[in-house]
Amino acid sequence: MSNRVGFFNLSINNILSDDLSIIDQARIRLVYYGLLLAMMGILVILPNAFTQHDDIQLVSAYFLLGAFAILFKYFTYKPDFVFVSHALLIIGTFFELFSVFVTFQSINIIIIQLIILIILFTFYMLGTKWGTIYSLANLLPVLGYLIYSDFNNTLLSIKPEKIDGYTMIVGLFFNFILIMFIQGHFYAAFVKNIKELKDLADSEKQLNEKLEVAMVKSEKSSQVQSDFLSTMSHEIRTPLNAVIGMSNLLMMESPRPDQKENLEILRFSAGNLLTLINDVLDFNKIESGKIAFENIKFNLSELMNNICGGQMMKASEKGLNFQLHVDDFFKSRYVIGDPTRLSQILFNLVSNAIKFTTKGGVKVNVTCAQDRLNEVVVRFSIKDTGIGISDEKVNAIFEPFTQESITTTRQFGGTGLGLAIVKRLLELQGVNISLVSEVGAGSEFYFLMTLPVSSEVIVTEEPAARVLVTNMDRSDYRLANIQVLIAEDNPVNVMLMKKLFSKWGITPVIAENGERAIELFQYGNFDIILMDLQMPVMDGFQASKIIRKMPDPRKANVPIIALTASALFDIKDRVYEAGINDYVSKPFKPNELVEKMMTLVTPQEA
């Protein structure tokens, strides 16, 4: 209702508003104009009833005119069409029944018109429920009267009134006008409503089309971003591979103490740069929704020892006490999950704990919170005595590119992505991470993860002697004299590989692209191929597929390890689809490459 409505208002424009539906607007107009037409009809009939001295008709006309005038004034002040409709229908029903049983004591055309008016009005104004009630309230008594009058002439001893011709004509005319008005008015409203629904559907269709275009642009933008990060990763990792590789080679040459210190700084800085690149790429994968989790069997106790093994050395270098406790429960049972992502989560939390702790120590606890039938609830806790986090910053530190303060960033470095990656990876697995912290006293990060338990029992065996690349003496290494084909187009990486392999007693054959690698492989006998994936002329994927289709079974099944600096999300799937056995990301660790080679090639004695 408009704010302009006052007690003396008589205009329909002041009681209509745009926030009303088309149907409600039609109902308001129907009541407003219907009352005006009804009062006009009564005013036309009233003089004739007065001259004819029809007392009952005259009283009825005065009553109806007064009732309609009061309702009209009320409606223009408070346009409650539901209340006014009920009032009109009660008056109409009373008048119709009074006319049938008292005034005329018969059913005439005007009574029939009045019943039709009431039926139309009540259904349009009040809906099916009240339409049915009022219709039956008017029809059933009339039907009963017809049945009764079939046996008797009149219901009462009072002499019934008769309608003169003038009143009949005027009554018929205005009743027809009202019927036409109701039907036409609501037909127009329904047509308009349908048209607006169609316009709304067309508008929604246009919005959906625009949304689809926006989504396509967004997907293209996301793809461009992913491709850009992949390209930049490749371009950064390639020289970084040379920096880290050469640092490792120089460290193998038994450098002087001063040289060793410089090399350690160089290798540490390169490692930090690689960590930053990996964090950005991992976060981009998570935000793009392209993270897939594995469900494989693994030994949680062994995994924790592997994760914390290197971290213990870092803690020791800082003079920190490092404690790792894993419940005995996990030493005899395999759990099922994604050890790679779990390692990433725990590595970030443990390395953060060490980074932000200057005195005291770090405690890592892995306990069995609940042992169920086929699954176990594991509680992971990483507690430190570091700088701590203020209460107002607790939520902020899990946001990307955010640390506790600018001072923290300057003092400890980092991108602020580690905890964001941890939180996202856990949330994707339906796990929430919690934090208890006190400034200056330390922090504890912990979370509960439900893991299925394998029925297979871990058999404790003496650990087999592992080949470690330490001094890299030719006499200590068991891969000497194997035939290796390296497909690599970057000359710096070629030089690095030659120097590295010479330490292992291996003289590799170099192919500058995939096509050349196939050519050399056809005429040579190689035990393994190290295949760069991005090369000119022919890339590593195509070359690997061609090799796998060679007619000679020995050649077709030769082990292939991909060497890639790419950060494409689907690189792992593409590698295996091409028939490649395994892959190593650049910059690679010599130990990692050696272990993968020894897994795929039967070592030969020198």
The predicted-structure confidence for 129-146, as pLDDT tens digits, reads as follows 888 898 888 888 888 887
Q: What is the mean predicted confidence (pLDDT) over 444-457? A: 89
Distances (CA, A) of 362 to 318, 355, 359: 11, 10, 10
Distances (CA, A) of 427 to 38, 84, 382, 432: 69, 58, 18, 6
* Cα–Cα distance measured from residue 471 to residue 482, given in angstroms and rounded to the nearest whole number: 20
Per-residue pLDDT at 497: 85
Q: Which residue has the higher pLDDT, 208 or 51?
A: 208
pLDDT for residue 1 is more than 60 = no
pTM exceeding the 0.95 threshold for the entire prediction: no
DSSP helix/strand/coil, 435: strand
Closest CA to 546 of 513, 497, 585: 513
pLDDT for residue 580 is more than 80 = yes
Percent of the chain exceeding pLDDT 90 equals: 18
pLDDT for residue 606 is more than 50 = no
Which of 37-46, 56-65, 246-255, 597-606 has the weakest average pLDDT? Answer: 597-606
* Cα–Cα distance measured from residue 301 to residue 325, given in angstroms and rounded to the nearest whole number: 9
Work out the number of other CB atoms within 10 angstroms of the CB of residue 464: 6
What's the pLDDT tens digit per position in 560-576? Answer: 999 877 655 557 778 88
Paired residues of 362 in beta bridges: 322, 384
pLDDT for residue 444 is more than 50 = yes
| Range among 8-17, 176-185, 186-195, 396-405 rated most confident | 8-17
* Cα–Cα distance measured from residue 175 to residue 108, given in angstroms and rounded to the nearest whole number: 13
Per-residue pLDDT at 327: 92
Question: Which is it for strands 442-457 and 333-337: parallel, antiparallel or unpaired?
Answer: antiparallel
Q: How far apart are the first and last CA of the chain?
A: 98
DSSP string, 271-321: HHHHHHHHHHHHHHHHHTT------EEE-HHHHHHHHHHHHHHHHHHTT-E
**Contacts of 11-20 spanning 24+ positions with Cβ under 8 A:** 11/76, 12/76, 14/76, 15/75, 15/76, 15/79
Q: Where are the alpha helices (DSSP H) in 540-588?
A: 540-548, 553-556, 571-577
Tokens 């970057």, residue located: 490
DSSP state of 429: T
- Asked if 300-457 and 474-600 have one fold, the answer is no
What's the pLDDT tens digit per position in 247-304? Answer: 877 877 778 888 877 877 777 677 767 777 777 777 776 766 667 788 888 999 988 9
* Cα–Cα distance measured from residue 585 to residue 599, given in angstroms and rounded to the nearest whole number: 17
Percent of the chain exceeding pLDDT 70 equals: 83
Q: What is the mean predicted confidence (pLDDT) over 44-55? A: 78
Q: Where are the chain's structural domains?
A: 12-204, 300-457, 474-600
What's the pLDDT tens digit per position in 150-195? Answer: 666 555 556 566 666 666 677 677 777 777 777 776 767 777 777 7
Per-residue pLDDT at 588: 76
Per-residue pLDDT at 290: 67
Per-residue pLDDT at 47: 84
Per-residue pLDDT at 536: 87
Q: Which residues does 470 contact at the CB level (< 8 Å), separation at least 6?
A: 476
Q: Give the CATH number of domain 300-457; options: 2.102.10.10, 3.30.565.10, 3.90.1170.50, 1.20.1250.20.
A: 3.30.565.10
**Contacts of 268-277 spanning 24+ positions with Cβ under 8 A:** 270/240, 270/243, 270/244, 270/587, 271/244, 272/413, 273/236, 273/240, 274/237, 274/240, 274/244, 274/587, 276/414, 276/415, 277/233, 277/236, 277/237, 277/240
Q: Is the peptide bond before 587 cis (omega within 30 degrees of 0)?
A: yes
Tokens 């508003």, residue located: 17
**What average pLDDT is seen over the chain?**
80
CATH level 2 (architecture), domain 474-600: 3-Layer(aba) Sandwich (3.40)
* Cα–Cα distance measured from residue 487 to residue 511, given in angstroms and rounded to the nearest whole number: 5
Q: Rounded to 5 degrees, what angle do the CA atoms 540, 271, 472 make?
A: 75
